[in-house]
Amino acid sequence: AERLPNVTILATGGTIAGTGASSTTTVGYSAAKLGVEKLIASVPELQKVANVRGEQVFQIASENMNNDYWLKLAKRVNTLLAQEDVDGVVITHGTDTIEETGYFLDLVVKSQKPVVIVGAMRPATALSADGPLNLYNAVLIAGSKEAVGKGVLVALNDQINAARDVTKANTSSPDAFRTGELGYLGYVQGGRVVFYRSPIRKHTLQSEFDISKLESLPQVDIVYGYANMNRIALDALVAAGARGIVHAGVGNGSLANAVKPGLIEARKKGVLVVRSSRVGQGIVARNGEANDDELDFVASDTLSPQKARILLMLALTRSSDTKQIQDWFYQY
Ligand SMILES: NC(=O)C[C@H](N)C(=O)O
């Protein structure tokens, strides 16, 4: 018989580890309460499909995710995946920022082995809690040959998504995650892990970003576009020392006349400016709504503002050249 895969579950908190006052509490519960051993014990079926080990890396609601937690988590994932006795890693995580942690890891994990991030929309104490089956499916994916080399995966509700492209698209439904027009990579159904496509943007082993020697990441912030927008927040962020600004513009990354001079001034001070869009689908075109060549700005391609922020932080650890950084936005 084939041996069971060795899967390490790294727990970080979130609603999957949340508890509520009663079985009908699906809002107003407390996230990040149950430890990793409790999560594993709640799904005895795991023992039949993998040799699972658990580690509590930290215990937070994922709205509190930050760069320091990311560096700690990524280093731990890389250490584990370098071990011969680890076949894959599952990370339990809050859903609010699961897509950001996923993309960060997609850019800095140095292994082909599966990394699957999983969460839940309902706390562990709720009727029809989605965490246990989501965790079971995540362990199946992490132990599968099919998931090798696919980059970091975000898996909930039987759907498998590429970390680069997925976004939370519903505040509370268990069917909360969407990759939009680019589509899911696959499904888990009845214990079968099935893929239909593979991400082709650079990730994990092909990535040139390396956090192994980093203790911090450069400050990059986001300004959000809307009618009647002003430059107050932008100026405050630049004054506070931002090295990069992601502009989450309306439409195809358009810049309001009230804001554009602020971005130009920021760039002249050395701040890297990335034009992204609040729309959520489609490419932000270079030299479209703004002349990026002239302004020395970068266009975000299809990355959402929160994902563009991550790539820009990592890019700034290696370069401050706009052309190089634009190239990376086309490659990752
Ligand atoms: N469903 C969840 O996990 C939401 C929670 N606020 C978190 O991200 O930790």
pLDDT per residue as tens digits for the range 180-234: 999 999 999 999 999 999 999 999 999 999 999 999 999 999 999 999 999 999 9
The answer to whether 25 is a known catalytic residue is: no
Task: Indicate whether 247 and 307 sit together in one domain.
Answer: yes
Decide whether any atom of ligand 1 lies within 6 Å of the 14 Cβ.
yes
CA distances from 133 to 121, 146, 189, 246 (A): 12, 19, 11, 36
Please give the number of the atom of ligand 1 that sits closest to the Cα of 18: 3
Predicted pLDDT at 128? 98
CA dihedral of 19, 24, 28, 34, whole degrees rounded to 10: 10
Residue 214 lies in a domain: no
Task: Indicate whether 73 and 188 sit together in one domain.
Answer: yes
Selecting among 15, 101, 167, 179, the annotated active-site residue is 15
Task: Indicate whether 239 and 194 sit together in one domain.
Answer: no
The single-letter DSSP state of residue 15 is G
**Between β-strands 186-189 and 272-277, what pairing exists: parallel, antiparallel or unpaired?**
unpaired
Distance (Å) from CA 263 to ligand 1 centroid: 33
**Between β-strands 152-156 and 159-162, what pairing exists: parallel, antiparallel or unpaired?**
antiparallel
Residue 184 lies in a domain: yes
Instruction: Give the domain range for residue 324.
Output: 220-331
CATH code (residue 314): 3.40.50.40
pLDDT per residue as tens digits for the range 35-74: 999 999 999 999 999 999 999 999 999 999 999 999 999 9
Pick from 172, 171, 152: nearest CA to 162: 152
CATH code (residue 64): 3.40.50.1170
Residue 1 lies in a domain: no
Final residue belonging to a domain, choices 172, 206, 240: 206
**Between β-strands 272-277 and 244-249, what pairing exists: parallel, antiparallel or unpaired?**
parallel
Selecting among 95, 167, 204, 302, the annotated active-site residue is 95
pLDDT tens, N- to C-terminus, the chain (332 residues): 689 999 999 999 999 999 999 999 999 999 999 999 999 999 999 999 999 999 999 999 999 999 999 999 999 999 999 999 999 999 999 999 999 999 999 999 999 999 999 999 999 999 999 999 999 999 999 999 999 999 999 999 999 999 999 999 999 999 999 999 999 999 999 999 999 999 999 999 999 999 999 999 999 999 999 999 999 999 999 999 999 999 999 999 999 999 999 999 999 999 999 999 999 999 999 999 999 999 999 999 999 999 999 999 999 999 999 999 999 999 99
Task: Indicate whether 158 and 95 sit together in one domain.
Answer: yes
Euclidean distance between CA atoms 296 and 20, whole angstroms? 50
- Residue 220 amino acid letter: V
When divided into structural domains, the chain yields a total of: 2
Task: Indicate whether 168 and 20 sit together in one domain.
Answer: yes
The answer to whether 15 is a known catalytic residue is: yes
